[in-house]
Amino acid sequence: MLLRRREILIAALAAPAVARAADLPGVTATELRIGNTMPYSGPNSAYGVIGRTEQAFIRMLNEQGGVAGRKINFITYDDGFSPPKTVEQTRRLIEQDKVAFLFNPLGTPTNNAILRYCNQRKVPHLFLATGADKWGNWQDTPWTMGWQPSYRTEAQIYAKHLLAQRKEFRLAIVFQNDDFGKDYIAGMRDVIGAERFDATVKTASFEITDPTPDSQILSLQSTGADVLMIALGPKAAAQAIRKVHDIGWQAQRYLTNVSLSVGAVMQPAGMEKGVGIITSGYLKEQGDAAWRDDPGMNEYRAFMKQWMPDGDLHDANTVYGYALGRTLQQLLAQCDGDFSRETVMRQAAGLHEVALPVLLPGITLNTGPQDYRPIQKMQLQRWDGASWVRFGGLIEGAEV
């Protein structure tokens, strides 16, 4: 009898919370629904491993008791990197599955396609897996937030390093003629200053359909430039590095971190031909000897061993997925049981000095109501002929 009465009491106490939860999309007394789109099929399906890592991470969270008494139902759909499919899958997530918010949908064109839809409906569109700069635009799209440093931030960091090193320089930029490449022009210009940039900097655009960037490199060399920014995808970057070396152009070279792969860029270019190239990073890498006994990377390795035994430890995408999983865990903890869309968005814009085990030491997540760029610091690294060697302190992107 006593027990019965206690049960009723508990039920009565719990009732208002249940009633309230029922009003919130994606939130029930036992479940929190979160949506995601990934290219599990199609030409970019290599990125699908990010989604699988996140699924594994959430499985782990659920086994450990979930968040605020609820299990997370992570609904992730394949969009094949096709914007119309992303629209369809996102509408399915929001209108049919009624998810509370979207987490880490991947791709620039795909997220572009749902940008307005999410903001019209006021659905948090969080921590997008793309490096475009526009996701930090809190004024126009207050429900959308990126995660990783944007290409523009990265370019600002190179420009800062350049300005700190030399007063006089003649900069040349070879860039891929798309949103990715153009962000490097924008970032360099932010720091160098529009006037000086326009007067002194030479640029050459490279179409992804061009067989090689050789002619661009030759024409830039002939301008007498002594600093070269290479904003090209992996294949063209390898060709550019080789060409610059072969024509004996002694320029200080910066390389986009999209193309820092040893296997896909530095080896094909010729290991010794890239000595001295500077790029940047923000995540730890399995291949870096410095992290052999690192507690943070050990956490990652333990997670992979138990929850994703078939995953590749060396795949940077799994490190990335793990970092995103930890970010989600932090966000949900900060929400403290209130998963309304407003609260989720407010907490996403309220990350302060959040350290993740796989970020480089000193790099933390920081956001605010007027700062939708969680990671803005990076560390430079230089190619020594065999591997990337980190040097100097962390550098932050400029305020623009």
Partner 1 sequence: MSASKGLHPEAAIGPIAVPAATPAWRRGLYLLVGIAVALAPLVLLESFHLFQLTMAVIMALAVLGLNIVCGYNGQISLGHGAFFAVGAYATAILMSHFDWSFWATLPVSAVVCGVIGYGIGFPALRLAGHYLALTTFSLAVAVPQILKHKSIEDWTGGVQGLFLVKPDPPAGLPLSPDQWMYVVTLIVAGACFLLAWNLIRSRIGRALIATRDNPTAAEAMGMDIASLKTRAFAVSAMITGIAGSLSAVAIEFVAPDSFSIFVSITLFVGMVVGGVASILGSLFGGLFVLFVPNIAEAISKAAPGVIYGVILILFLFLLPDGFAGLLRRIGQRLRIRP
Site size with partner 1, rule: CB under 8 A: 32
Applying CB under 8 A, among 3, 16, 96, 293 the residue interacting with partner 1 is 96
- Distances in whole angstroms, Cα of residue 220 to Cα of each of 36, 201, 261: 43, 10, 25
342 binds partner 1 per the rule CB under 8 A: no
Record the tokens describing residue 22, joined without a space. 């029922």
Which strand (E) or helix (H) includes residue 301? Answer: helix 295-307
- Distances in whole angstroms, Cα of residue 53 to Cα of each of 33, 105, 303: 17, 13, 10
- Closer Cβ to partner 1, 176 or 376, answer by number: 176
122 binds partner 1 per the rule CB under 8 A: no
108 binds partner 1 per the rule CB under 8 A: yes
Q: How far is the CB of 272 from partner 1 (least distance, A)?
A: 35
State the residue for tokens 């099929």. Answer: 41
- Closer Cβ to partner 1, 29 or 208, answer by number: 208
- Closer Cβ to partner 1, 117 or 169, answer by number: 117
Angle at 261 between CA 259 and CA 265, to 5 degrees: 70
Which strand (E) or helix (H) includes residue 16? Answer: helix 2-23
279 binds partner 1 per the rule CB under 8 A: no
- Closer Cβ to partner 1, 205 or 221, answer by number: 205
Q: Which stretch binds partner 1 (CB under 8 A): 86-94, 143-151, 213-221, 281-289?
A: 86-94
- What SS3 class is residue 221? helix
Q: Which stretch binds partner 1 (CB under 8 A): 58-66, 113-121, 186-194, 241-249?
A: 113-121
- Distances in whole angstroms, Cα of residue 187 to Cα of each of 109, 139, 153, 190: 20, 20, 6, 5
Site residues (CB under 8 A) for partner 1, limited to 146-205: 177-179, 205
User: How far is it, in rounded angstroms, from Cα 1 to Cα 326?
Assistant: 45
State the residue for tokens 């400029």. Answer: 398
Between 37 and 56, how does the x/- string for binding to partner 1 read (CB under 8 A)? ---xxxx-------------
- Closer Cβ to partner 1, 258 or 378, answer by number: 258
Between 203 and 242, how does the x/- string for binding to partner 1 read (CB under 8 A)? --x-xxx---------------------------------
83-121 exposure pattern, b = at least 16 Cβ within 10 A, e = fewer: bebbbebbeebbeebebbbbbbbbbbebbbbbbeebeeb
Applying CB under 8 A, among 53, 82, 148, 286 the residue interacting with partner 1 is 82
Applying CB under 8 A, among 62, 68, 117, 141 the residue interacting with partner 1 is 117
Give the residue among 283, 1, 345, 305 at the shortest CA–CA distance from 142. 345
Ranges of H-type helices in 147-205 = 151-165, 179-192, 194-200
137 binds partner 1 per the rule CB under 8 A: no
Footprint of partner 1 (CB under 8 A):
40-43, 76-78, 80-84, 87-88, 91-92, 95-96, 108-110, 112-113, 116-117, 177-179, 205, 207-209
